[in-house]
Amino acid sequence: MSDKGTMKDDGLLLDADGIPVLTNTINPDAHDMAGETTNRSQAISAPDPATALLDSEAVHQKLDEIAARMTVNTRQDVEAALRPAIEEAITQALNVSGDNIYLAISKQLEGALPDILPHVLQEKDAGEN
Protein backbone atom coordinates (compact mmCIF):
# COMPACT_ATOMS: atom_id res chain seq x y z
CA MET A 1 0.00 0.00 0.00
CA SER A 2 1.39 3.43 -0.91
CA ASP A 3 1.19 6.67 1.12
CA LYS A 4 -1.51 7.97 -1.21
CA GLY A 5 -3.78 4.97 -0.80
CA THR A 6 -4.94 2.00 -2.81
CA MET A 7 -7.20 1.76 -5.82
CA LYS A 8 -10.31 -0.44 -5.66
CA ASP A 9 -11.51 -2.44 -8.65
CA ASP A 10 -14.16 0.20 -9.40
CA GLY A 11 -11.48 2.92 -9.68
CA LEU A 12 -12.17 4.47 -6.26
CA LEU A 13 -9.02 5.58 -4.42
CA LEU A 14 -9.02 4.65 -0.70
CA ASP A 15 -6.75 5.92 2.06
CA ALA A 16 -4.94 3.63 4.53
CA ASP A 17 -8.12 3.34 6.65
CA GLY A 18 -10.30 2.41 3.67
CA ILE A 19 -11.94 5.84 3.42
CA PRO A 20 -12.54 7.12 -0.12
CA VAL A 21 -10.22 9.94 -1.18
CA LEU A 22 -11.64 12.89 -3.14
CA THR A 23 -9.54 13.25 -6.28
CA ASN A 24 -11.71 15.23 -8.70
CA THR A 25 -12.69 18.51 -7.05
CA ILE A 26 -15.02 21.12 -8.53
CA ASN A 27 -14.52 24.85 -8.08
CA PRO A 28 -17.86 26.16 -6.69
CA ASP A 29 -17.11 29.68 -7.96
CA ALA A 30 -16.88 28.46 -11.55
CA HIS A 31 -19.86 26.06 -11.78
CA ASP A 32 -23.18 25.48 -10.12
CA MET A 33 -24.83 22.04 -9.74
CA ALA A 34 -26.03 22.05 -13.36
CA GLY A 35 -22.58 22.94 -14.65
CA GLU A 36 -23.51 26.51 -15.63
CA THR A 37 -21.38 29.49 -14.68
CA THR A 38 -22.65 31.17 -11.51
CA ASN A 39 -22.90 34.94 -11.29
CA ARG A 40 -21.38 35.67 -7.87
CA SER A 41 -23.00 39.11 -7.56
CA GLN A 42 -26.47 37.61 -8.11
CA ALA A 43 -25.88 35.02 -5.41
CA ILE A 44 -24.84 37.70 -2.91
CA SER A 45 -27.74 40.03 -3.66
CA ALA A 46 -30.40 37.29 -3.48
CA PRO A 47 -32.58 37.57 -0.36
CA ASP A 48 -31.11 35.59 2.51
CA PRO A 49 -33.72 33.23 4.03
CA ALA A 50 -32.24 33.73 7.52
CA THR A 51 -32.60 37.50 7.23
CA ALA A 52 -36.19 37.12 6.04
CA LEU A 53 -36.96 34.87 9.01
CA LEU A 54 -35.33 37.23 11.49
CA ASP A 55 -37.43 40.11 10.12
CA SER A 56 -40.62 38.15 10.89
CA GLU A 57 -42.59 39.22 13.97
CA ALA A 58 -43.73 35.63 14.60
CA VAL A 59 -40.10 34.49 14.71
CA HIS A 60 -39.24 37.32 17.12
CA GLN A 61 -42.11 36.26 19.39
CA LYS A 62 -40.95 32.64 19.34
CA LEU A 63 -37.36 33.68 20.05
CA ASP A 64 -38.60 35.81 22.98
CA GLU A 65 -40.59 32.85 24.34
CA ILE A 66 -37.59 30.54 23.99
CA ALA A 67 -35.31 33.07 25.69
CA ALA A 68 -37.78 33.50 28.58
CA ARG A 69 -38.09 29.72 29.07
CA MET A 70 -34.32 29.28 28.89
CA THR A 71 -33.85 32.03 31.48
CA VAL A 72 -36.28 30.38 33.90
CA ASN A 73 -34.80 26.91 33.29
CA THR A 74 -31.25 28.19 33.75
CA ARG A 75 -32.17 29.92 37.02
CA GLN A 76 -33.87 26.74 38.28
CA ASP A 77 -30.91 24.59 37.24
CA VAL A 78 -28.45 26.92 39.00
CA GLU A 79 -30.59 26.97 42.15
CA ALA A 80 -30.90 23.17 42.12
CA ALA A 81 -27.16 22.75 41.62
CA LEU A 82 -26.23 25.24 44.36
CA ARG A 83 -28.93 24.33 46.92
CA PRO A 84 -27.06 21.37 48.51
CA ALA A 85 -23.82 23.36 48.79
CA ILE A 86 -25.61 26.38 50.28
CA GLU A 87 -27.53 24.21 52.76
CA GLU A 88 -24.29 22.53 53.84
CA ALA A 89 -22.54 25.89 54.26
CA ILE A 90 -25.43 27.22 56.37
CA THR A 91 -25.45 24.07 58.52
CA GLN A 92 -21.70 24.32 59.11
CA ALA A 93 -21.94 28.02 59.91
CA LEU A 94 -24.75 27.38 62.40
CA ASN A 95 -22.82 24.52 63.99
CA VAL A 96 -19.73 26.69 64.42
CA SER A 97 -21.64 29.75 65.55
CA GLY A 98 -23.92 27.61 67.73
CA ASP A 99 -20.95 26.67 69.88
CA ASN A 100 -19.88 30.31 70.06
CA ILE A 101 -23.41 31.44 70.91
CA TYR A 102 -23.64 28.81 73.66
CA LEU A 103 -20.35 29.96 75.17
CA ALA A 104 -21.35 33.63 74.98
CA ILE A 105 -24.73 32.99 76.66
CA SER A 106 -23.07 30.87 79.32
CA LYS A 107 -20.55 33.60 80.14
CA GLN A 108 -23.26 36.26 80.21
CA LEU A 109 -25.37 34.17 82.61
CA GLU A 110 -22.42 33.44 84.85
CA GLY A 111 -21.56 37.13 84.95
CA ALA A 112 -25.12 38.23 85.58
CA LEU A 113 -26.05 35.48 88.04
CA PRO A 114 -24.67 37.25 91.14
CA ASP A 115 -26.83 40.30 90.32
CA ILE A 116 -29.90 38.26 89.37
CA LEU A 117 -29.97 35.88 92.37
CA PRO A 118 -30.66 38.51 95.06
CA HIS A 119 -33.55 39.93 93.03
CA VAL A 120 -35.01 36.47 92.42
CA LEU A 121 -34.71 35.58 96.11
CA GLN A 122 -36.34 38.88 97.16
CA GLU A 123 -39.24 38.28 94.79
CA LYS A 124 -39.60 34.72 96.10
CA ASP A 125 -39.61 35.92 99.72
CA ALA A 126 -42.09 38.68 98.90
CA GLY A 127 -44.36 36.17 97.17
CA GLU A 128 -44.32 33.83 100.18
CA ASN A 129 -45.32 36.56 102.65
The answer to whether the predicted template modeling score (pTM) of the entire model surpasses 0.85 is no
In a domain, 40, yes or no: yes
In a domain, 123, yes or no: no
The domain in which residue 38 lies consists of: 1-46
In a domain, 128, yes or no: no
Does residue 81 register a pLDDT over 50?
Answer: yes
In a domain, 126, yes or no: no
pLDDT digits (tens, 9 = 90+) for 26-47: 766 655 555 454 555 454 455 6
> 67-96 in b/e burial notation, b at 16+ Cβ within 10 A?
eeeeeeeeeeeeeeeeeeeeeeeeeeeeee
In a domain, 7, yes or no: yes
Q: Mean pLDDT, the chain, as a whole number?
A: 78
Query: pLDDT confidence of 1, banded at 50, 70, 90?
Result: very low
pLDDT digits (tens, 9 = 90+) for 53-78: 778 888 889 999 999 999 999 999 99
In a domain, 34, yes or no: yes
